[in-house]
Chains A and B, each alone.
Chain A
Amino acid sequence: MKRRTPMVIAATAAIALTLTACGGSDGDTAGSTSGGDGKVTLSLAGWSLASTPEFKTIADAFTAQNPNVTVELKEYDATNYDTQMTADLAAGTAPDIFVQKNLKMFYTYQSGQQLLDVSDVTNALDAATGGKDAYTVDGKSYAVPYRQDSWVLYYNKDLFNKAGVALPDGSWTWDDYANAAKAVTTGLKGAGSKALGTYQHSWQSTVQGFALAQTAGADLASGDFSYLKPYYERVLDLQDAGAQVPLGTVTTNSLTYQAQFGTQQAAMLPMGSWYIATLLQQQANGEAEDFEWGIAPAPQLDASTAGTSATPVTFADPTGLGINPGIDKGKVDAAKKFLAFAAGEGGAQALAKIGITPALLSDAVTDTYFGLEGIPTDDLSKFAWQTHDTRPENPVLPTTAILQNILNDFHTAVLSGSVSVDDGLAEAAARAKSEASF
């Protein structure tokens, strides 16, 4: 009896410790190092693998060219990708190569020394590769872009024709766009349709991304956000005129842009080029209705950058690949080779085949892309997809995340009609001063 007590304690402690230890590391399955036979296994991060084929596509295309390198995918949650990646990097269990989903977190990774210097890979890339300068800090590059989407204007040709309004011709400014949205709404109402002229999703980027990219001298870090004013006044005017669904209805009814444009509730939609693949897929499987559509360049602030003889200015963050500094030294060369492949012609071709907009838009890649079934093949769509000056949505700054949060509050406050544009701007500037100046 007497001897049993310590044993009971020891046993309970052992059980408890084993139980709590279960939460330890089980993510390091992809840590196999290069063997003596020259075979290398790289691990690559990705999200929602079942519905996001791009990671497997690049990995397979790379392995086809480099049979001695196997690329294993490690799945993350799409919404919490950066949170989970941060935790894995801090714990030392992150994969060898990980994706920079947008530029918001790049500063944190780079300044936290979680990215290997890959300047040699970036320097060898084709000069036409979009977004490759976004990852440069103090002359050194820390990631390479493999995707570079850009925001364009989707339009429904059938609804435009029904409303009797001329189709976009690539020369539009935002005022032209607003007038067209109103004209289409009126025209459709006359034709007995309830569809509206345009649909703008609830994201702050639908307004702020364009404003920041297109306004000369606009600087997120300056804390002066007055460049947003004309853009917001235009949107408020469209909401009041009933040419687009107000933000409150978008959020309370959980509207999706895919359903709004895909089921012909709206004749226009400013959206990123990633939606092309979704729309093609949804039209093929019946989720979206069957109608004629096309893409036009994003409307411009003024006529100087509008028209097919100019280069329209738009925005979007590149999607990049970086190397985890914790990678086994023997695998660095293979990882760099993978990065060069993904950002180069090989990766671009593989991505274009599945409807994804790669960072490198050569003519051959464009031909592949516009060979997809169901894609609009008019010249304006091709022009809009291939020709643009795409600026980053999130400039790489220590304060980007904070400023974007402030501007998101501004966005919901103004578009819900809670404050006027001027009051909202003053509030945002005051907050930027107190929250982002440390």
Chain B
Amino acid sequence: MSTLVVDDDRRAGEPPAPLRRRRSLSLTLRSTLVGWSFILPNFIGFAVLTLVPVVILFYMSMTSWNVFGAANWVGLDNFERLLQDRSFHKALTNTLYYAVVHIPLTLGASLGLALLLNRKLKGVAFFRTVAFFPYITSVVAIAVVWNMLLSPDTGPVNQILGWFGIDGPGWTTSSTWAMPAIILVSVWREMGYYMLLFLAGLQTVPTQLYEAARLDGASAWQRFTNVTLPCLRPTTFFVTVMLTIASFKVLDLVLVMTNGGPGQSTLVLSQYIFNKGFVENQFGYASSVAVVLFLICIAVTIFQFLVNKRRES
């Protein structure tokens, strides 16, 4: 509509100078609109499927609702209940345990794999593919196979440990070892994917820098810490952020490997949300747990961005 107005204006207006200004205005407007039209398809999808549900989630977290009928406004009651809820505390601790161990392990393993497979080896493409395989395999199949491998009495893992005189733990059947078992499997599953990101990052490291470092007499370790790591920083940052969010939201592997057990030893926040919502029909309360998880993810990500910015400057 505004373009039409400009048209009429131009015909009526006499001096040419304002015309050019108006034209450029309409040009800005037009490019803005064109830009919007490019974003719009995605944005509408995002708004309908993500943004609106998230906003509703915040509202739901202040209500008590069992799916049917109206949601009753309860204010901050749900959050007060969370403070007292020992199962929630357990789920939170377990999730932090998982994240704190899983993030550095995966980071290290995937970087190591990337460095290993960044050389000119025979059949390197094959090994890269093999390392990526676990990531594209169905998580249910992985869980079934690993559960068998880790079976306390009949599993090969404990049999091999037995050859070295080590009495293997109960893994997923022991409340102490279930979480380490899950972390082990998830590191194995995800390192291929992050390895791929690191491999891409390694391609961007200029070879001149290595040559210069070598001329200066830098050892392999010095080259790694002074050339490779600084050049990889953008990749490392991206990988860390993605890994952190994924770790806090972990659900599928836990669900199929241990279903939160034995007892509550591997109960994580996402599963707690699922249980409270879809099993116990306390959707308001489940929403408030989801809000807490959302806030944790946001806070950790902002923190990481701040740290990254400080290092950059």
In this assembly, does B270 line the interface, its C-beta being within 8 Å of a C-beta of chain A? no
Cβ-defined contact, A12 with B37, below 8 A = yes
CB distance from B252 to the nearest CB of A (A): 15
Contact residues in A for B68 (Cβ distance below 8 Å): 89-90, 108-109, 111-114
Residue of A nearest to B274 (CB): A83
CB distance from B56 to the nearest CB of A (A): 13
CB distance from A100 to the nearest CB of B (A): 15
Cβ-defined contact, B87 with A435, below 8 A = yes
Q: What count of chain B residues pass the 8 Å CB interface test?
A: 54
Of the listed stretches A191-199, A351-359, A372-380, A412-420, chain B binds A412-420
A20 to B44, CA, bound (A): 8
Residue of B nearest to A247 (CB): B173
In this assembly, does B94 line the interface, its C-beta being within 8 Å of a C-beta of chain A? no
Cβ-defined contact, A401 with B279, below 8 A = yes
Cβ-defined contact, B261 with A416, below 8 A = yes
Cβ-defined contact, A434 with B263, below 8 A = no
Residue of A nearest to B41 (CB): A16
Cβ-defined contact, B86 with A253, below 8 A = no
In this assembly, does B121 line the interface, its C-beta being within 8 Å of a C-beta of chain A? no
Of the listed stretches A2-10, A118-126, A293-301, chain B binds A2-10
Contact residues in B for A427 (Cβ distance below 8 Å): 263
Instruction: Name the residue among B49, B144, B170, B262 with the largest chain A CB count within 10 angstroms.
Output: B262
Q: What count of chain A residues pass the 8 Å CB interface test?
A: 49
In this assembly, does A127 line the interface, its C-beta being within 8 Å of a C-beta of chain B? no
Contact residues in A for B81 (Cβ distance below 8 Å): 438
Which of chain B's residues 269-307 have a Cβ closer than 8 Å to chain A?
275, 278-281
Cβ-defined contact, B45 with A252, below 8 A = no
Cβ-defined contact, A5 with B40, below 8 A = no
A430 to B26, CA, bound (A): 68
Cβ-defined contact, B263 with A252, below 8 A = no
Cβ-defined contact, A9 with B36, below 8 A = yes
A420 to B45, CA, bound (A): 51
Contact A20:B263 (CB < 8 A) given known A401-B281, A416-B174:
no
In this assembly, does A303 line the interface, its C-beta being within 8 Å of a C-beta of chain B? no
A10 to B265, CA, bound (A): 53
In this assembly, does A86 line the interface, its C-beta being within 8 Å of a C-beta of chain B? yes
A431 to B263, CA, bound (A): 12
CB distance from A151 to the nearest CB of B (A): 23
In this assembly, does B154 line the interface, its C-beta being within 8 Å of a C-beta of chain A? yes
CB distance from B278 to the nearest CB of A (A): 5
Contact residues in B for A20 (Cβ distance below 8 Å): 44-45, 48-49
Nearest first, the 7 closest Cβ-Cβ pairs linking A and B are A112-B68, A248-B173, A413-B263, A412-B261, A418-B175, A416-B262, A252-B151
- Chain A residues packing against B (C-beta within 8 Å): 2-3, 5-6, 8-9, 12-13, 15-17, 19-20, 83, 86, 89-90, 108-109, 111-114, 246-249, 251-254, 401-402, 405, 409-410, 412-413, 416-419, 424, 427, 430-431, 434-435, 438
- Chain B residues packing against A (C-beta within 8 Å): 1, 3, 7, 26, 30, 33-34, 36-37, 40-41, 44-45, 48-49, 66-69, 81, 84-87, 144, 147-148, 150-155, 170-176, 258-265, 267, 275, 278-281
Additional A-B contacts beyond A252-B152, A402-B280, A416-B262 (19; CB < 8 A): A3-B3, A5-B33, A8-B37, A16-B44, A86-B281, A89-B68, A108-B67, A108-B281, A111-B68, A112-B69, A249-B151, A251-B173, A252-B147, A252-B155, A401-B280, A409-B264, A413-B263, A434-B86, A435-B85
